[in-house]
Amino acid sequence: MSYNPNPLYAAPEDWRAYSGVLSRRVFAFILDYLIVALLCIPAAIVLFFLSIVTLGLGFFLYPALFVIVAGLYFGLTVGGPSQASLGMRAMGIAIVRVDGRPMDFLTAIVHLALFWILNSVLTPLILLAGLFIERSRLIHDLLVGTVTVRTA
């Protein structure tokens, strides 16, 4: 994959930018959560030593460790200049906003939170929506105003 000095911010009109995006999103999801699980290991070690320094108060963060690591991972990668996480980059996709503005940290976090909430309520339907909605958008994409496009 080559470096693009001019990142894509606006949603393109060409239908080819959305071809095969839904299956790529599924594989990117699997890769990203493997990366987040691996990132939880050093985060747990750091949290252990932080818990010793704070006389045990840091141990209360262990139940939320995965959520914190995933939030930081997606906020920094999707909200960064490439607008894609490592799994998305590997699959050749990126998230862009429909209004043409670049993704920021807060929008990436809201996108992730809505995905988790809607996935827990509408597990099979969240992917089925992408088959029927234009540009293969999912429900949380509609709510946030984003679309996933091919970069490769």
Residue 152 is assigned to a structural domain of this protein: no
**Inter-helix orientation angle 65-78/21-53, to 10°:** 130
Supply 131's token pair. 């088959």
Residue 139 is assigned to a structural domain of this protein: no
β-partners of residue 95 are 148
| pLDDT reading at 151 higher than 70 | yes
Residue 111 is assigned to a structural domain of this protein: yes
pTM of the model: 0.86
Residue 89 is assigned to a structural domain of this protein: yes
Residue 3 is assigned to a structural domain of this protein: no
Give per-residue pLDDT as tens, 23-64: 999 999 999 999 999 999 999 999 999 999 999 999 999 999
- pLDDT of 58 reads 93
Measuring CA to CA, how many Å separate 113 from each of 116, 117, 141, 143? 5, 6, 12, 12
Candidate from 69-73, 109-113, 121-125, 138-142 with smallest mean pLDDT: 121-125
Residue 84 is assigned to a structural domain of this protein: yes
Residue 137 is assigned to a structural domain of this protein: no
CB 16 within 8 A of CB 107: no
Number of domains in the chain: 1
| pLDDT reading at 130 higher than 70 | yes
Question: In this predicted model, which residue has the larger pLDDT, 104 or 8?
Answer: 104
Residue 68 is assigned to a structural domain of this protein: yes
Query: Mean pLDDT of all residues in the chain?
Result: 89
Question: Which structural domain range is residue 79 located in?
Answer: 20-132
Question: In this predicted model, which residue has the larger pLDDT, 122 or 3?
Answer: 122
Candidate from 45-54, 60-69, 133-142 with smallest mean pLDDT: 133-142
